[in-house]
């Protein structure tokens, strides 16, 4: 019987237990260790694992080796995310982050080459950055947009770069595509982006990647007035953004091995 008192199938319960166990073991487990942890006979477990393998839910790293979650699990996760409200799932985390750091926060992804806001949270203080400024500038001038560009496949990224308006908005605006390509490489290597007065005078923004269960990247960013900008404060905000990113990933069903 399930926790809700409903009748369940033992074989299905056991199969789910196998998947739940492997979800916490990115390096995989051998058949014997899985059997011991689940309290099952190896012969019984082997039949379950073979069935899960046939459906792509479990993979074996090599013959006689460890078992890990298979691509079928990721495919299901991807379809689930495509049909659910990712913003709603992340809302509590994003709103909580804005409250902790006292700055406006944006969680966004790319859709058809354009920034799409999943959830926005505005800081509750008189001097703060508007959401309009965070999401309506050219991609390469926003921290979230630049972060998303840096994680695109090369062909897709180059197609977007070719269409960008590189005219200057401020003295700090990058206007050379080769310089931009270098900045995008550096952003990918660092795992975060800082834009200092590139889209508008007086605005500094920072963003980090957020992975979903299907291997796609979103961007979690915060923006602040230049008057509150200090390197140490930004370092603290990067740390807070990364912590919140992991929480969002958990709400989306993304395991560390998916990143």
Angstrom distances, CA of residue 32 to CA of 26, 40, 180:
17, 10, 52
> Residue ranges of the domains in the chain?
10-69, 79-258
Topology of the domain covering 79-258: Beta-Lactamase (3.30.450)
Q: Tokens for 76?
A: 């299901």
Distances (CA, A) of 228 to 7, 143, 194, 238: 58, 17, 14, 15
Residue that has been written with the tokens 């005078």 in this structure:
201
Digit-by-digit pLDDT tens for the chain (259 residues) are 444 446 778 889 999 999 999 988 888 899 999 999 999 999 999 999 999 999 999 998 788 789 998 888 877 776 666 656 888 899 999 999 999 998 889 999 998 888 999 999 987 766 566 655 555 678 999 999 999 999 999 999 999 999 998 999 899 999 999 999 999 999 999 999 999 989 888 889 999 999 987 778 999 999 888 877 776 678 899 999 999 999 999 998 876 656 6
Q: Architecture of 10-69 per CATH?
A: Orthogonal Bundle (1.10)
Joined tokens for residue 258: 């998916």
* 8 A C-beta contact, residue 93 and residue 82: no
């Amino acid at each position: 019987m399930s926790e809700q008192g409903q009748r369940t199938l033992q074989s299905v319960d056991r199969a789910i237990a196998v998947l739940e166990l492997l979800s916490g073991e990115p390096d995989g487990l051998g058949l014997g260790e899985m059997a011991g942890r689940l309290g099952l006979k190896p012969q019984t477990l082997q039949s379950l694992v073979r069935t899960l393998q046939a459906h792509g839910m479990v993979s074996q790293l090599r013959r006689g080796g460890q078992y890990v979650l298979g691509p079928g699990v990721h495919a299901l996760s991807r379809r689930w995310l495509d049909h659910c409200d990712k913003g709603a799932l992340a809302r509590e985390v994003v709103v909580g982050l804005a409250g902790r750091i006292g700055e406006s926060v944006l969680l966004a992804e790319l859709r058809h080459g354009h920034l799409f806001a999943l959830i926005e949270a505005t800081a509750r203080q008189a001097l703060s950055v508007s959401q309009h400024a965070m999401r309506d500038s050219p991609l390469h001038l926003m921290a979230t947009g630049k972060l998303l560009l840096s994680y695109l496949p090369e062909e897709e990224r180059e197609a977007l770069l070719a269409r960008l308006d590189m005219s200057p908005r401020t003295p700090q605006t990058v206007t050379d595509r080769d310089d931009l390509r270098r900045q995008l490489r550096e952003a990918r290597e660092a795992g975060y982006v800082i834009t200092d007065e590139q889209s508008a005078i007086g605005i500094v923004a920072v963003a980090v990647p957020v992975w979903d269960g299907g291997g796609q990247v979103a961007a979690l960013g915060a923006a602040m007035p230049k008057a509150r900008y200090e390197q140490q404060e930004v370092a603290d905000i990067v740390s807070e953004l990364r912590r919140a990113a992991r929480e969002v990933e958990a709400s989306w069903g993304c395991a560390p091995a998916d990143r």
